[in-house]
């Protein structure tokens, strides 16, 4: 809040410095009656001048390397900060050289090419695949890189990560088991542990994580279900798409999508900001003009921000909107049913008529869905909205596991 002329300039610099250092949004509020007030500049912090203390860095790296070398079954848990700092290639080089398997958090999905032989999947506690959960929690050394240890990001308090068996490295702090190291930069620590002193492992047997799934067979007249819809959608995920999933089953179902190399996955995940996806597609495509957003959004979230499709037309953008219409707040419905989960029923596929542009398609069956996706991919002039009508109580496996875990506490 810039309400003090003697500190306002330094506060601006402090926020910009934090944005640069932590790769997160910064917020500045300027009261209307302060616009014309003359400020005083005392000192200007240098943005980007953060350096590790050499001795502390050496101590942190040495302890981490010793710990990893002593372990028998290490695993890397990679999070969103690997994305934000642009360290994906660093991560790939590290795991390929040292042969350490990788899992990602929900917020960090696509941080690693999901077809990579050392990638195991998403770790989200009891919400995730049982074999992934067991592999991570049985590890004697979990190397957590750039992941936020929060509720939704780690399976609504169902994650079981023992601090005594963990290395935790983010832009905010570095911890090796019970030892915390101040003044050690995230990038310096990652570079430091990628050292000849860290021994190379034998190639692990991870065949269980890469079982070839059978090709999806369309049942043209079958009603759409959440489980089969996402399996079907997998057939169309390719380079050049950026998948943006909103809160709810749009996100939980999308966990099982296989991201191709050079295909990003964006979600609010633990921020649980419903209505995120449609506006996020604008920022994503403007910042990456050679990509096309595939937005997965529920009807409840769409009613909050869906009119931002007008902005996509204004800027000549062409997102594909897959709207999962389960007639209300589906996630909440599985936690505690009641009329408060019902919402007004819009004619979503007719929304393009409101804007006099775009295409809307209403689908109920697998055959209609396949035809609609192919049409949307071929239509590149403007947005295409596919309204997928689902049963009210239909759910993804991940949401079913979440509901089972949470329903007794709501």
pLDDT digits (tens, 9 = 90+) for 210-241: 766 678 899 999 999 999 999 999 999 988 89
Strand order in the sheet with 320-325: 264-266, 241-245, 292-298, 320-325, 384-389, 359-363
- The answer to the question of residue 154 being in a domain is yes
Please indicate, yes or no, whether residues 118 and 10 belong to a single structural domain of this protein. Answer: no
Please indicate, yes or no, whether residues 173 and 118 belong to a single structural domain of this protein. Answer: yes
Comparing 16 with 206, which gets the higher pLDDT? Answer: 16
Last residue of a domain, one of 50, 76, 91: 50
Direct distance between the N- and C-terminal alpha carbons of the chain, in angstroms, rounded to an integer: 36
pTM score of the predicted model: 0.89
- The answer to the question of residue 191 being in a domain is yes
Going along 137-199, which residue ranges are E strands?
A: 141-145, 166-169, 174-176, 179-181
pLDDT (mean) for 123-147: 91
3-state secondary structure 361-405: EEECEHHHHHHHHHHHHHCCCCCEEEEEECCCCCCCHHHHHHHHH
Please indicate, yes or no, whether residues 199 and 264 belong to a single structural domain of this protein. Answer: no
Q: Can you tell me the distance from the alpha carbon of 259 to that of 291, in angstroms, rounded to the nearest whole number?
A: 14
Please indicate, yes or no, whether residues 332 and 392 belong to a single structural domain of this protein. Answer: yes
How many Å is the maximal CA-CA distance in the chain? 71
Query: Which pLDDT belongs to residue 271?
Result: 77
Alpha-carbon distances, residue 32 vs 5, 7, 40 (angstroms): 13, 17, 18
pLDDT (mean) for 21-30: 93
Query: What 3-state class would DSSP assign to 336?
Result: coil
Q: Kindly state the DSSP code that residue 41 receives in the 8-state scheme.
A: -
- Alpha helices by DSSP H, 138-290: 186-193, 226-234, 249-254, 277-287
Q: Can you tell me the distance from the alpha carbon of 387 to that of 349, in angstroms, rounded to the nearest whole number?
A: 6
Query: Which pLDDT belongs to residue 130?
Result: 86
Comparing 297 with 148, which gets the higher pLDDT? Answer: 297
Indicate the range of 35-44, 166-175, 321-330, 353-362 predicted with least confidence: 35-44
Please indicate, yes or no, whether residues 3 and 59 belong to a single structural domain of this protein. Answer: no
Query: Which pLDDT belongs to residue 406?
Result: 66
Please indicate, yes or no, whether residues 193 and 261 belong to a single structural domain of this protein. Answer: no
- The answer to the question of residue 32 being in a domain is yes
Q: Can you tell me the distance from the alpha carbon of 125 to that of 133, in angstroms, rounded to the nearest whole number?
A: 6
Q: With 90 as the cut, is the pLDDT of residue 356 above it?
A: yes
Last residue of a domain, one of 30, 50, 70: 50
Q: With 90 as the cut, is the pLDDT of residue 149 above it?
A: no
Please indicate, yes or no, whether residues 314 and 293 belong to a single structural domain of this protein. Answer: yes
Among candidates 281, 272, 328, which has minimal Cα distance to 306? Answer: 281
- The answer to the question of residue 217 being in a domain is no
Please indicate, yes or no, whether residues 161 and 41 belong to a single structural domain of this protein. Answer: no
pLDDT in tens, 255-297: 889 888 778 999 988 677 899 999 999 999 999 999 999 999 9
Query: Which pLDDT belongs to residue 209?
Result: 77
- Percentages of the chain per state (helix, strand, coil), in multiples of 5: 40, 15, 45
Categorize the per-residue pLDDT at 127 as very low, low, confident or very high, splitting at 50, 70 and 90.
confident
The answer to whether the beta carbons of residues 229 and 256 sit under 8 Å apart is no
- The answer to the question of residue 221 being in a domain is no
The count of domains in the chain is 3
- The answer to the question of residue 218 being in a domain is no
* Domain CATH code at residue 346: 3.40.50.970
Alpha-carbon distances, residue 113 vs 92, 123, 259 (angstroms): 9, 15, 7
Please indicate, yes or no, whether residues 239 and 374 belong to a single structural domain of this protein. Answer: yes
Last residue of a domain, one of 12, 31, 50: 50
Among candidates 254, 71, 314, which has minimal Cα distance to 177? Answer: 71
Please indicate, yes or no, whether residues 9 and 113 belong to a single structural domain of this protein. Answer: no
Categorize the per-residue pLDDT at 71 as very low, low, confident or very high, splitting at 50, 70 and 90.
very high
- The answer to the question of residue 231 being in a domain is yes
Among candidates 199, 87, 201, which has minimal Cα distance to 147? Answer: 87
Going along 123-275, which residue ranges are E strands?
A: 141-145, 166-169, 174-176, 179-181, 241-245, 264-266
- The answer to the question of residue 203 being in a domain is yes
* Domain CATH code at residue 135: 3.40.50.1220
Q: Can you tell me the distance from the alpha carbon of 45 to that of 97, in angstroms, rounded to the nearest whole number?
A: 39
pLDDT (mean) for 386-390: 97
Please indicate, yes or no, whether residues 43 and 67 belong to a single structural domain of this protein. Answer: no
Domain ranges, residue 299: 226-406
The answer to whether the beta carbons of residues 269 and 295 sit under 8 Å apart is no
Instruction: Say how many residues make up the chain.
Output: 410
Average pLDDT, the chain: 91
Please indicate, yes or no, whether residues 145 and 99 belong to a single structural domain of this protein. Answer: yes
Q: Can you tell me the distance from the alpha carbon of 329 to that of 309, in angstroms, rounded to the nearest whole number?
A: 21
Alpha-carbon distances, residue 250 vs 15, 125, 192, 373 (angstroms): 33, 19, 38, 16
Percent of the chain with pLDDT over 90: 71
């Amino acid at each position: 809040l810039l309400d003090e002329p003697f500190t306002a300039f330094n506060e601006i610099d402090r926020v910009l410095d934090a944005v640069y250092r932590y790769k997160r949004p910064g917020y500045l509020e300027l009261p209307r009656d302060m616009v014309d007030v003359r400020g005083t500049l005392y000192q200007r912090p240098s943005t980007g001048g953060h350096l590790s203390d050499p001795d502390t860095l050496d101590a942190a790296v040495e302890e981490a390397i010793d710990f990893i070398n002593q372990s028998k079954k290490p695993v890397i848990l990679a999070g969103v900060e690997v994305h934000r700092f642009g360290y994906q290639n660093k991560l790939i080089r590290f795991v390929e050289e040292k042969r350490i398997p990788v899992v990602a958090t929900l917020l960090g999905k696509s941080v690693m090419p999901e077809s990579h032989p050392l990638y195991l999947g998403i770790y989200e506690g009891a919400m995730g695949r049982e074999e992934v959960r067991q592999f991570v929690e049985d590890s004697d050394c979990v190397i957590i890189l750039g992941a936020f240890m929060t509720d939704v990001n780690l399976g609504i308090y169902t994650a079981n990560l023992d601090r005594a068996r963990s290395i935790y490295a983010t832009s905010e702090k570095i911890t090796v088991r019970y030892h915390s190291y101040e003044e050690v930069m995230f990038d310096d620590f990652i570079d430091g542990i990628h050292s000849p002193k860290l021994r190379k492992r034998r190639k692990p047997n991870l065949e269980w994580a890469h079982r070839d799934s059978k090709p999806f067979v369309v049942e043209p007249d079958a009603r759409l279900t959440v489980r089969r819809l996402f399996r079907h959608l997998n057939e169309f995920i390719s380079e050049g798409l950026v998948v943006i999933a909103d809160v709810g089953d749009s996100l939980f179902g999308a966990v099982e999508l296989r991201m191709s190399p050079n295909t990003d996955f964006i979600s609010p995940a633990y921020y649980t900001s419903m209505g995120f996806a449609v506006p996020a597609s604008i920022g994503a495509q403007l910042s990456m003009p050679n990509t096309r957003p595939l937005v997965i959004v529920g009807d409840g979230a769409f009613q909050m921000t869906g009119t931002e499709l007008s902005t996509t037309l204004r800027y000549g953008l062409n997102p594909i909107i897959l709207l999962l219409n389960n007639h209300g707040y589906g996630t909440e419905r599985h936690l505690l049913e009641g009329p408060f989960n019902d919402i007004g029923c819009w004619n979503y596929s007719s929304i393009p008529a409101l804007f006099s542009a775009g295409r809307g398609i209403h689908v109920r069956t697998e055959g209609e869905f396949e035809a609609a996706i192919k049409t949307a991919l071929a239509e590149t002039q403007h947005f295409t909205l596919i309204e997928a009508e689902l049963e009210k109580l239909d759910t993804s496996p991940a949401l079913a596991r979440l509901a089972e875990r949470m329903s007794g506490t709501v």
